[in-house]
């Protein structure tokens, strides 16, 4: 950064006397570095706390059975540890909520960036932040006690706990994430491009959808991927509204279980340390961590690949 040490650059040319070592400054630097190290230690802690018990788990259950098994029944006799139902449940929920959040989020972003007057935007943006701030436990409660009965009234035959209402609410929860990141990307598109479009006789909608959105596509994709990763990792909404019935189904009206819901439901009891049930938490947690991490890496790749650079 620019503020490193302004005397250093001149020291060579001006031949200033050797600088006194300021111990106070050194101490401050040390403290600052320690604070920064906390986050690295957190990562190390997460990896270690996942890997060690998961390693013990995989000594008892073969990783192949874990990754390819289609029945998740850790508490039954004989216990079966196929993680696929949980993974499928997670992806059904995430994809459905993405179907809600991606188009609506981009719609909101286009409106805020291209159409809304400054006054309207100054009211709508904080409102969007408030939507983003609603605790997920409240959203889960809302999905279970409002959206599910509403779906039934509308004639959709859903179970009490179902993937559909959890996905709908989760999708709405993700709209602010998609919208605000996409809007940032759209705001960065130079005015010249828009004016070029207008000069060619395009109307506002054409400029928005054919010029601004393609130009901002790297930011929009990054927003999608980030929102998807959040959907994969979201716990409370699915735990409350989607249920705890691990099964491989692509019918969103049915009860399912996600990886996060399993961890949340199993982790809250007094699970004895060292039991196989205790270790499943870490095996599933490791799978979840690996998936979100891979999505994160993917997003970095995608952003690089689609980046449009402007002067």
Partner 1 sequence: MLFAMVVAFGTLAVLLVDTLVTGWPQLDAQLFSDSPSTQPEEAGARPAILATLYLGLIVLLLSVPIGVLTAIYLEEYADRKRWWNRLIEVNIQDLAAVPSIVYGILGLAFIVRGVGLGRVVLAGGLILTLVVLPTVVVASREAIRAVPDSIRQGAFALGATQWQVVWRQVLPAAIPGMATGSILALSRAVGETAPLIMVGAIVYVAFDPTLLGPYTALPVQIYNWTKQPDPTFQTLAAAGAIVLLGIVLSMNAVAIFLRNRYRKQW
Chain positions 141 to 180 lying near partner 1, rule: CB under 8 A, are 141-142, 144-146, 169, 172, 175-176, 179
CB of 98 to partner 1, least distance (A): 15
Asked if 87 touches partner 1 (CB under 8 A), the answer is no
Q: Which is nearer to partner 1, 4 or 13 (CB)?
A: 4
Name which position in 85, 140, 197, 252 contacts partner 1 (CB under 8 A).
Answer: 140
Query: What distance in Å separates the CA atoms of residue 24 and residue 3, rounded to the nearest whole number?
Result: 18
Preceding omega of 78 cis (within 30 degrees of 0): yes
Q: Which is nearer to partner 1, 77 or 275 (CB)?
A: 275
Number of residues that bind partner 1 (CB under 8 A): 88
Name which position in 9, 11, 16, 45 contacts partner 1 (CB under 8 A).
Answer: 45
Asked if 21 touches partner 1 (CB under 8 A), the answer is no
Which stretch, 2-10, 67-75, 151-159, 210-218, contacts partner 1 (CB under 8 A)? 2-10
Q: Is 201 exposed, middle or buried (0-12, 13-18, 19+ CB in 10 A)?
A: exposed
Residues 96-135 that bind partner 1 (CB under 8 A): 103-108, 110-111, 115, 124, 126-131, 133-135
Asked if 3 touches partner 1 (CB under 8 A), the answer is yes
Asked if 18 touches partner 1 (CB under 8 A), the answer is no
Name which position in 13, 43, 157, 275 contacts partner 1 (CB under 8 A).
Answer: 43
Asked if 49 touches partner 1 (CB under 8 A), the answer is yes
Q: Which is nearer to partner 1, 69 or 264 (CB)?
A: 264
Asked if 89 touches partner 1 (CB under 8 A), the answer is no
- Do residues 261 and 239 touch, judged by C-beta distance below 8 A? yes
Site string for partner 1, 292-311 (x = CB under 8 A): xx-xx---------------
Name which position in 139, 158, 186, 207 contacts partner 1 (CB under 8 A).
Answer: 139
Asked if 137 touches partner 1 (CB under 8 A), the answer is yes
Residues 209-228 that bind partner 1 (CB under 8 A): 226
Please report the DSSP string for the chain in residue order.
-TTS-HHHHHHHHHTPPPPPP-HHHHHHHHHHHHHHHHHHHHHHHHHHHHHHHHHHHHHHS-HHHHHH---EETTSSS-EE--HHHHHHHHHHHHHHHHHHHHHHHHHHHIIIIIS-HHHHHHHHHHHHHHHHS-HHHHHHHIIIIIHHHHHHTT----SS-HHHHHHHHHHHHHHHHHHHHHHHHHTS-HHHHHHHHHTT--HHHIIIIIIHHHTHHHHHHHHHHHHHHHHH--HHHHHHT-S-------TTS----HHHHHHHHHTS-PPTTSHHHHHHHHHHHHHHHHHHHHHHHHHHHHHHH-----
Asked if 234 touches partner 1 (CB under 8 A), the answer is yes
Residues 250-289 that bind partner 1 (CB under 8 A): 260, 263-264, 267-268, 273, 281-282, 285, 288-289
Residues 58-77 that bind partner 1 (CB under 8 A): none
Longest dimension (CA), the chain: 84
């Amino acid at each position: 950064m620019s503020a490193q040490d302004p005397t250093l650059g001149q020291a060579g040319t001006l031949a200033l006397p050797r600088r006194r070592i300021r111990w106070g400054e050194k101490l401050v630097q040390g403290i600052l570095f320690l604070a920064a190290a906390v986050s690295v230690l957190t990562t190390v802690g997460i990896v270690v706390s996942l890997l060690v018990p998961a390693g013990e788990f995989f000594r008892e259950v073969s990783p192949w059975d874990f990754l390819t098994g289609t029945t998740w029944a850790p508490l039954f006799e004989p216990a079966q540890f196929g993680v696929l139902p949980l993974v499928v449940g997670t992806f059904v929920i995430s994809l459905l909520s993405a179907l809600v959040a991606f188009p609506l989020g981009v719609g909101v972003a286009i409106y805020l960036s291209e159409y809304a007057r400054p006054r309207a935007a100054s009211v709508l943006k904080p409102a969007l932040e408030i939507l983003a701030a609603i605790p997920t436990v409240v959203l889960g409660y809302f999905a279970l006690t409002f959206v599910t009965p509403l779906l039934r009234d509308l004639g959709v035959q859903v179970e009490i706990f179902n993937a559909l209402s959890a996905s709908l609410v989760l999708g709405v929860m993700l709209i602010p994430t998609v919208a605000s990141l996409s809007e940032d990307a759209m705001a960065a598109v130079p005015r010249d491009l828009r004016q070029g479009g207008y000069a060619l006789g395009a109307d506002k909608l054409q400029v928005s959808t054919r010029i601004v959105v393609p130009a901002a596509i790297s930011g929009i994709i990054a927003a999608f991927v980030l929102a998807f990763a959040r959907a994969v990792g979201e716990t409370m909404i699915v735990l409350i509204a989607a249920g705890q019935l691990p099964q491989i189904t692509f019918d969103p009206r049915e009860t399912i279980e996600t990886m996060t819901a399993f961890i949340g439901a199993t982790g809250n009891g007094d699970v004895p340390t060292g039991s196989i049930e205790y270790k499943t938490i870490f095996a599933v947690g490791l799978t979840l961590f690996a998936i979100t991490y891979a999505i994160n890496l993917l997003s970095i790749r995608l952003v690089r690949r689609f980046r449009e650079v402007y002067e």
